[in-house]
Amino acid sequence: MKALQVSQLAPAFAGCAVDDVDTPEAGAGQILVRIRAAALGFPDLLMTQGLYQHKPELPFTPGTEVSGDVVALGDGVEGFAIGDAVVASQLGGGLAEYGVFPAATARKKPDNMSYAQAAATTSAYLTAYVSLVRRGYMQAGEWVLVHGAAGGVGLAAVELAHNMGAKVIAVASSDEKLDKIKAHVPVEAVLNSQNGFRQQVKDITDGKGADIIYDPVGGDIFDESVRCIAWGGRLLVVGFASGRIPDISVNMPLIKGFSVVGVRAGEYGRRDPQAGAENLAAIWDMAAKGEITPYVHCELPLGQWRQAFALMESRQLVGRVIIDPSQI
Fold exhibited by the domain 2-120+295-324: Quinone Oxidoreductase; Chain A, domain 1 (3.90.180)
For the chain, give the secondary structure using H, E and C.
CEEEEECCCCHHHCCEEEEECCCCCCCCCEEEEEEEEEECCHHHHHHCCCCCCCCCCCCECCCCEEEEEEEEECCCCCCCCCCCEEEEECCCCCCECEEEEEHHHCEECCCCCCHHHHHCCHHHHHHHHHHHHHHCCCCCCCEEEECCCCEHHHHHHHHHHHHCCCEEEEEECCHHHHHHHHHHCCCCEEEEHHHCCHHHHHHHCCCCCEEEEEECCCHHHHHHHHHHEEEEEEEEECCCCCCCCCCCCCHHHHHHCCEEEECCHHHHHHHCHHHHHHHHHHHHHHHHCCCCCCCEEEEEEHHHHHHHHHHHHHCCCCEEEEEECCCC
Decide: pTM greater than 0.85.
Answer: yes
Q: In this predicted model, what pLDDT tens digit does every residue of 238-262 receive, in sequence order?
A: 988 888 999 999 999 999 999 999 9
Question: Can you give the residue ranges of every domain in the chain?
Answer: 2-120+295-324, 124-267
Q: In this predicted model, what pLDDT tens digit does every residue of 3-33 receive, in sequence order?
A: 999 999 988 888 999 999 999 999 999 999 9
Is domain 124-267 classified as CATH 3.40.50.970? no
Residue 49 has pLDDT above 80, yes or no: yes
| Percent of the chain residues topping a pLDDT of 90 | 83
Mean pLDDT of the chain: 94
